[in-house]
Structure 1
């Protein structure tokens, strides 16, 4: 009996340690959002929560692995941005599969390009066009502008160069797809490069506070509010995003911004 008691106590100790190391599954987003969505590391929002927004979506890359897109759609996800390309010579190996599967599940989807500061905007635009189909009903293309930690390209060009080359990319890509690209960016990159004067819709990353606090005066269409989202049909954490308006606003936005 004494041996069994020691074993039981030891087992309970191991279990307690394991549970302590496992991140708690956070509560689902609140009113206005689908209750099946959640966050494994929920943030205590003080200046405005994303959970009251009616329209939520995901952005993904190869790291999400297998996705059950019908389950994702059933969970209330309204859109998906899929990583397609990076620089002028890299493509995400899961892009084509995700692109087809999301369409089959009737989830509006678009492609995003991870911008690389050691190739020109024109070169990167050509690479994006080579890899991303021009399909009726697709969301506008996205240019992902953020500082990278790439060992092959540690450059941080001045704001004038950043905006000039990014604008070249956007002009070329916009002409091809018939929709001007959305700019995705982060707080530090936006500030360092004074992106507020660029002609574009913005998709803003802000995981610690409302965009109106982190990007004063900047209008936005999409808000990436967490990188630890929980979505049925996707294993592990995933980025979650909110659309700026209501469901009716979303329907109107789609009417004007889908590729035709």
Structure 2
């Protein structure tokens, strides 16, 4: 079976399973040993793994964007060993790589993906898949930074990123109140900043952000926005941000993993990496 077809079939199955969990979950599900959710499947969780099931897909970008866009991608263990030379030849200029999830998972392909993208000339960064009901924001940030979520001013490393989206294990907002979620994100963000000198990029969707943070505007002046929306336009952004830094516009395409645009020319991408 072609890889793309298999991936799409898998996404459909995962979406169905996620929907069933949401219908049956009135509260946060039981936790397995070590604080991980029951049925923990971190190899299936990645930036956007829950988005299409909740928000759907309505086409690839067709608009003429007002500034030059720079093509990129994001990957996780789902992609395995990536052919980075091929990705670069197909136009990829940057990549975000899943490093960690919760406080127990590290991507077994992280070294191949993170170092391989760098060696192929891409500007790369690491991201953390958040489980806010698993442990505190500070605890997860420390796990992340200790397992690949660092930063250096080499001009080739993007700010560490926080992937916070629909809960693949149960209640959409992980059982947190809106104010509790804002506090969790702030603790994660501040810890990453203290440890690395950079505030993390925040990956999310406008719908999830509005539902689970009350559309908080608290992070727009410090944290770059990585917005997910599989449509012809980026749409309304969460409060506090007047523009997106990165737009994840599709969950499949010519590049491995998800398809992204950095909102600017390549020299602006370099400037983001340099801080």
TM class by shorter-chain length?
A: 0.7 to 0.9
> Is 1:145 matched with 2:200?
no
Count of residue correspondences: 213
Shift of residue 154 of structure 1? 7.8
Shift of residue 195 of structure 1? 3.4
Which is strand-richer, 1 or 2? 1
Shift of residue 62 of structure 1? 0.6
Q: Which residue of 2 aligns with 1:113?
A: 128
Shift of residue 115 of structure 1? 0.7
Q: What SS does the corresponding residue of 1:180 show, helix, strand or coil?
A: coil
Contact 1:196 1:218 in 2 (8 A): no
Q: Which residue of 2 aligns with 1:123?
A: 139
Q: What SS does the corresponding residue of 2:186 show, helix, strand or coil?
A: helix
Which of 163, 176, 200 lines up with 2:223 in the alignment? 200
Q: Distance in 2 between matches of 1:97 and 1:107?
A: 13
Contact 1:179 1:258 in 2 (8 A): no
- Could you tell me the TM-score, scaled by structure 1's length? 0.72
Residue deviations 1:207-240, cap 9 Å, x none? 0242234658742101000002122xx4xxx210
Q: Which runs of 5+ in 1 are unaligned?
A: 1-17, 24-40
Which of 210, 229, 235 lines up with 2:233 in the alignment? 210
Q: Distance in 1 between matches of 2:269 and 2:121?
A: 17
Q: What SS does the corresponding residue of 1:98 show, helix, strand or coil?
A: helix
Q: Distance in 2 between matches of 1:58 and 1:64?
A: 12
Q: What SS does the corresponding residue of 1:229 show, helix, strand or coil?
A: coil
Shift of residue 169 of structure 1? 0.9
Which range moved further: 175-184 or 130-139?
Answer: 130-139
Which of 171, 177, 180 lines up with 1:158 in the alignment? 177
**CA RMSD across the alignment:** 2.9
Q: What SS does the corresponding residue of 2:226 show, helix, strand or coil?
A: strand
Contact 1:182 1:202 in 2 (8 A): yes
Residue deviations 1:136-167, cap 9 Å, x none? 43110000111212169983311111111111
Taking a change above 3 Å as real, the CA distance of residues 49 and 207 of structure 1, as seen in their structure-2 partners, is farther
Q: Which residue of 1 aligns with 2:115?
A: 100
Shift of residue 74 of structure 1? 1.5
Residue deviations 1:67-114, cap 9 Å, x none? 111111111111000000111111111112211111111211000011
